[in-house]
Each structure stands twice: as structure tokens, then as C-alpha cells.
Chain A
Amino acid sequence: MRDPADSTARSSAAGTIASARRSRLAAFLDSDLLHSFLSSRLVVLAALVSVLIVGAAVLAPLIAPHDPYDLKSLSLLDANTPPAWEQGGDPNYLLGTDDQGRDILSTILFGTRSSLAIGFCSVLLASALGLSLGLWAGYVGGRVDTIIMRIADVQLTFPAILTALLIDGVALAILRHHTVEGGKFSILVLAIGLSFWVQYARTVRGVTLVERNKEYVEAARLIGIGPLKIMFQHILPNVLGPVLVIATINLALAIITEATLSFLGVGLPPTEPSLGTMIQVGNKYLFSGSWWMVAFPGLTLALLALAVNLLGDWLRDALNPKLR
């Protein structure tokens, strides 16, 4: 836990900060967190897989052999090509092509990129919204608290995917005649973000309720610091731990939700496939023997979700003093 005096110390000489940073790095290298991370092979493996997939996705435009979003480059005559090692395969298309002639490998790289981008952005949105509302509810209390928390309770009674579908549907209906570049991306971020904020708000509110009566908060209030500053500068750092854990687990959930929405046909359009869209398309060809269309994107999604989930689980356990 950070000492409230820390913030006053910030105004002192820059040299002290630098040395504090160095000592913090040293403290991290020596910490329980790193130790527990390195002691579990599974977690290290999960981290490696996540880094690999995220890295490949980020670098997609550089490393992908084809640009699957460039419709000009598609040729229908290359469609349904099996993976290179199968009979009839083409070394140009390592993992084969889909029903429109898109290279599966490149599409997976680009699709993971969209899936991850939507996942990250919606987790950011959900956590920002949840954090602010939770802090507000917890710190101010009273009627504000009641209203925010009852809304949260109502939303909790619906599965997140249902809320996401609802928001997605409404947004699409409104935007039906106005096609905005990247509009679908924002709609998905909004839909997924708005369906996951509740967990953050409840957790943050709980911690805030405890923190707001602590002496450092009272001291801050006594010297006349405004409530906004107290909330965000003094209480916030103390609730970040649990928020980080929720965010990691939510990232996997958000990616799966995006895939589900795309699978149901309300996500990213078929011309800009994400992992979910690819699985939906491949699913049509399950019985005709074109297994590669669904197998590779499915495997990628499963691996990614599993790895991120494992990391999230580990983080939760590592940060929970009761489990140590």
C-alpha cells in the first residue's frame, strides 16, 4: 500500500525519484510476485504463448504473407485450397485458404489483431467506467451509491453476452444508413465494454468503502483537498490491484465475446474477418472436408483465451494475501 506522504514527496528533487525507481525495480526483482511467476512452469508457458500471439498479431502487417483485407488481391480461383502439406496444397498458402481465397494464416494474424484490439479497448472502456462509477459510489455513498449499485445489480441479472447483443443491435439499427469507417469496431467495443463494467464497479466500491474512512483520507480531507483529487489520487492507487486482476480475466472474456458476436453474424463483417467470423465461415464447411477453415482459427482462439485466463488466475492468486 502506498503511503499518502508519497504524493507530497513527489514535489521534492528529481534525483530522489530516480533512485526510488531504481530501488522499486530491485524490489520487484526480489518480490514474491516474480518469484511465484517463475516458480510455475504453466504460468511461464502461458505468458510465452500470450506474448507470442500478441506479438504476431501486432506485427501482422509486417509478417503476414498476404493482406486478407485487401479485396483486390483475392482470387476466387484460389479458394478452398488445403494446407500446404495436404494433397492439392499450395506452399504459397501455408495453412490453406478459405471459401473466398483468403490465406488462412494471414487472416488469422489480422483477425487476432482485430480480436485483441477490440478486447483491449473494451476492457479499457469497461474498467474506466467501472472504476469511476465504483469510486464515486463508494466515496460519496448515499443516494448516488444506491442508484449506481442497483443499476449494476439489474445488469448483473443478464448474461454479459445478452447485454452486448442488445447494445450491438440497437447501435446497428441507429447506424443502418450511415456507414462510418471503422464504425463496426467502435460498436463492438462499446457493446462489450458496456456489458462488463459492473464487476469493476462492485469491486472498486467495496475497496473504496474501506479506504475512505482510513486516516490518510481523513487527513487529506482535513487539509482541504477536493473529493475528486482524493478519489483519483489517494484512493485509486489502492484499488488498482484487484482491478488489474479483473481486467486480465476480462480480456479473455472480451475476446471470446467478440468471437461469439462475430460467430453469430453481428460482429465484424465477413470482408474483415476476426477469429469469430473465420470460425463462423469455416463452420459451414465442417462436413465437406475443408477442416482447415475452422480448425486453425479455432485453435488460435482457444490458445489465446486459455493463456490469458491462466495468467489472470495466477495474478489473482499471487495478489491475494490470503492464499499465500
Chain B
Amino acid sequence: MTSKSLLKAAAALLVLALAGSTADARGVKWARSGDALTLDPHAQNEGPTHNVLHLIYEPLILRDRTGKLLPTLAISWRATEDPTVWEFKLRQGVTFHDGSAFNADDVTFSLERALQANSDMKGLLTFIETVSKIDDFTVHIKTKGPNPLVPNYLTNLFMMSKKWSQANNTVTVQDYKEKKDNFAVRNANGTGPYVLVAREQDVRTQLRRNEDYWGKGEFPLGVSEITYLTIKSDATRIAALLSGEVDFVQDVPVQDIDRLEKTPGIKVNFGPENRTIFLGLDVASPELKSSNIKGKNPFADKQVRQALNMAIDREAIKRVVMRGQSIPAGVIAPPFVNGYPKELDRLPKVDLAQAKALLQQAGFADGFQVTLNCPNDRYVNDEGICQAVTAMLAKIGVKVNLVAQPKGPHFTLIQKNPPETEFYLLGWGVPTYDSHYIFSFLYHTRSGREGGWNGTRYSNSALDSKIENLAAEIDVVKRNAAIADIWKALSEETIYLALHHQQLAYAMKSELDIPVSPDNQVHMKFIAAK
């Protein structure tokens, strides 16, 4: 350690000590069921991962709780005279946690990094042709065609320090699927409101307020220290809140909401999430490895998929498993999304007799076996949903072997190429608030930047080109018509079985007030301390 950095450390300690003595200092212990999968900002496009990263790193533009785009590291943006070139003006005087200054080099570096093959964020950036630095605080993004939604795609794209990444050999994105590691997975150097102090994966992450934060004075920043804990067991997580050991529980099990609301000193906030829970099916493999049917893939037959769809009683799942905290769904687009096909969001009628008849027509009168992969620490009551589905499908003779596991290994099964699951539960949130994000990640053939979360092996070149054309359509009316057209075609295919749009509940000590955001991202800088 050089004497200069020693001095800095001493200064930081002094600041910390002073901050600790002021009245507004408040530590928040925050518990969730699952941890961030990695701290590499571009390795995983996953909600809880971004939730932690948003504390440390910042995007150019942030989406606030009301859905508004908020200037963050970019202070303004616009499409230039050439509609395929977007200009971003950057905020000046911003420093990374290591003290180095933020400028255009870091932006071009970060965007290019997010376009690498290992990056899970590349599916959001399919429109980018080139990124260029104009001056230290101006960046141009050249798009493949005119794209009105460019800013929407950047709200979870975190800016890293180029110098820091090069010095620590993390220029390449972590290959999460292959369980690779790099320096950025465990260490972080962002511009965000909180600085990483210590982290133990799946146990705790310790953060302290960034006293040099550019937004000091602009945001409440009432929380001075964050201890982010992973408590997988529902009962333990709630016990920790009831006993006062933690201050805030983001994943409240639905069965405990009643009890928490009745407990003095504890507050529960509710809100809809911009996320739909659904089942994915392998519709294209010649046969299913986990099935007793050989030489044929039952899911490849549309009648079988429709039969499964009819056998699932979504209202019962809502009433019993979700205790009312869901909106049963017929499409995998949440209502928040531009192009949400309201008329298609109808529930298939539960009809076991017809489902059986369909199976018989498809040649599976005796049903078949298949393995269902399910996460058990990601979505509200995810394992309970899978168990209920297992019992419902048994009624039409489909024998489901349920494998429930933590989200890390579960998501890997879907992301591997080829996927290692044939029937899985997934929830998809839409940070861009636009249908294209769903099409591109979940329906487009898995290739290049697209289809990263399409575990169904579904591939339809006509659809693919329709999806690609969306990115370049600037006429809003035409674009929305094209989106509606795609949704209609897809609803006839039944590639995914939509289950419900998820509702959220946050529970906290009543001196805190953390509202539910549709992104399920808690931006602590907006929280004041009482």
C-alpha cells in the first residue's frame, strides 16, 4: 500500500467515524431468500443479482419506482439528426469507489464488455452497431436501424471502470454457465451509492454508504449501512424479522402476510410486479431424456401442450398456493408491458376430460413421464406452485418427477447450450417495459445475442425476422401492430404455459418505509431514515 492510499484509507475511516456519530446514521439488515448469483455486472440478467448490483454500480439511466427514466450517469440523451445515432451526455465529477474519475472511456468499455459472448446482457443490446467516444463526456451509440427504445434497454446496464477492469484482469465477462470465476465476481468498484465492504456468497453482503457519492444531497440516502442477508428458509426469515434481527424482508412468504400485518411494529407494503411466472417446454428435441416415451417428444405435439394448459387450475393456485397474491395469466407478458395483449390474457378453461381426449388424439392415451425442474428460492412460493402443477398433471396421466433446487443451478440448466431441462418453471420480468424484450430473450432462436433464456429449443425463422424487424421500426403505430401480430401467432403455438402475474409483499419494521417497485428492485438511495 502506498502512503497516498494509506492516507486515503485513513481519511475514509475518519469520514466513516464522523458519519457514524451523526443522527441520520441507520443500518438496515435486509433479508432475501436468495443471493445475487455473481457481482460481475454483465454475467447474469437476473433480478436479485441486479438488485444488489444497483447498490454498488450504476447504469446510464435508472428506472425509478414509478417507471420514469431518471438521468443517472447520463444527464441527457437524444437521437441525433441521423436517427440511428444516439447521443448521451455524461455526468461530470463522478468518481468510482477507488477514487478514479468516471468518463466516456468507461462507458464504451462497459457497453462493449456487455456485448461479449459470455455476457447475459447482450440480449438487451441486440440493436447496437458501434459505441464511440466523442469527447470525455459524450458518447454516441450507433444502432443497426432507427430504434426509439434505446434508453429503455440501458436501465440495468452497469458501468464499470475500464482501468480497474484492466488492472484486475476482468475485461472478459465471467462465464457463469461454466462456473468460471473472475476478480469482478467477488469484488466491485462502481460509482453507486454504496460501497462493498465484505461479501460471503449466499450468506451476507456488507455495504456502507459512499460518502463521495455524486447524488449526495439530491437523494435521501438515509441508510448508512446495509447488511444484505440470504435466509433461504421462509420461517427463519420471518422469525428474524419478528425478533428484530433483521429490519426488512423483501421476499415475504404469502402464508405469513396475515400474521405480519397483525404484528405491531411491522409494516407490510404490497404491489404488483412486472413479472409473469410460467412453465417452459422442450418443443423441439426428437425425444425427451427424462420421459418413458422413446423416439418421440410428446411436447413437440401442440395438442399435448394444449392438454397440459387445460389441466392447470390457475385459480386454485392463486387461492391456495399464492393466497390471493397473484393474477392468473394466459400470456407470459405482464400488464405493465407495451404491447401486452389484453384480449389474449384469458385463462384456458380447466377441462380434464378434454385434456385427456387431446392426449389420446396425440397418441398418449396412457400419459407419459417427464421431469419438471423448479427453483425453490426465487419466486413467491415457486416450489409450492410446481408441486400443485405436478398433482394437477397427474390427473390427466402425466407423471411429473419434480426436481426443486436453488436458483443458481436451476437457471444454469436453462442457459446451458443445449439446455439441460425439458420442462421448467421460470419467471420473466421486463425492465424495458416492452414486448420486444420478451420475444428476444424467450422466443427468438438461441443464436448470437438473442434467445439467451429460450430453453424451449423453439426455433421459427419467420418469427425471428419479425422480432428483429421490431428493433428497427420507429413508427409507433406500425410497431405496436407488429407486436400484436406476433403475440397472436405465439398464442396459437402454446410454447410456454403462463401461470400468473406475480404480486409482491415487502415486510419491514414500521420506522422504515420501503415501497414495492414493479421491478422488484429496491433502490436504497431513495429511502429516508426516520
| Chain A interface (Cβ < 8 Å from any Cβ of B) | 70-72, 74, 76-77, 79-80, 99-101, 177, 179, 265, 269-271, 283-290
Contacts and interface: CB of A to CB of B under 8 A. Distances in A.
B384 A179 contact: no
Interface residues of B, number: 36
Contacts of A269: 401-403
B387 A288 contact: no
Interface string B371-397: 100001000000110011011101100
Contacts of B235: 283-287
A284 B403 CA distance: 19
Q: Which 9 A-B pairs have the closest CB atoms?
A: A71-B394, A288-B255, A74-B391, A76-B316, A71-B391, A284-B234, A79-B320, A286-B235, A76-B320
Contacts of B242: 287
B404 A265 contact: yes
B321 A76 contact: yes
A179 B371 contact: yes
A198 B319 CA distance: 51
Contact of B376 (A79, A265, A271): A265
Contacts of A99: 255, 320-321, 384
A288 B237 CA distance: 13
A101 B388 CA distance: 9
Contacts, number: 79
B317 interface: yes
B282 interface: no
Interface of B: 233-235, 238-239, 242, 253, 255-256, 258-259, 289-290, 313, 316-317, 319-321, 369, 371, 376, 383-384, 387-388, 390-392, 394-395, 401-404, 420
> What secondary structure prevails in chain B residues at the interface with A?
helix
Contacts of B371: 179
B294 to A, nearest CB: 14
A269 B404 CA distance: 9
A55 B187 CA distance: 58
A189 B403 CA distance: 19
A76 B388 contact: yes
Contact of A72 (B253, B290, B321, B395): B395
A289 B234 CA distance: 14
A288 B256 contact: yes
B449 to A, nearest CB: 29
Contacts of B420: 177
Given A71-B394, A179-B290, A100 B387 contact: yes
Counting chain B CB atoms within 10 Å of each CB, the highest count among A79, A288, A289 belongs to A288
Contact of B404 (A70, A77, A80, A270): A270
Contacts of A265: 376, 404
A290 B394 CA distance: 26
A215 B384 CA distance: 65
A76 B290 contact: no
B233 to A, nearest CB: 7
Contact of A76 (B233, B234, B255, B313): B313
Nearest to B236: A283
A177 B255 contact: no
B388 A287 contact: no
Given A72-B394, A76-B320, A271 B387 contact: yes
A172 to B, nearest CB: 9
Given A72-B394, A270-B404, A290-B255, 14 more contacts: A71-B395, A76-B313, A76-B388, A100-B388, A177-B289, A179-B369, A271-B387, A271-B401, A284-B235, A284-B253, A287-B235, A287-B239, A288-B253, A288-B255
A288 B404 contact: no
Contacts of A283: 233, 235
Contacts of B238: 287
12 contacts: A71-B391, A76-B316, A77-B320, A100-B391, A177-B290, A179-B371, A269-B402, A270-B404, A283-B235, A284-B233, A286-B235, A287-B259
A243 B242 CA distance: 48
Nearest to A266: B405
A71 B397 CA distance: 10
A270 B386 CA distance: 10
A280 to B, nearest CB: 9
B387 A270 contact: yes
A167 B404 CA distance: 19
A179 B258 CA distance: 40
A284 B255 contact: yes
Given A265-B376, A287-B235, A288-B255, A76 B402 contact: no
A271 B239 CA distance: 27
B239 A76 contact: no
B460 to A, nearest CB: 27
A20 B406 CA distance: 61
A107 to B, nearest CB: 13
A74 B319 CA distance: 16
A100 B404 CA distance: 16
Counting chain A CB atoms within 10 Å of each CB, the highest count among B233, B317, B384 belongs to B384
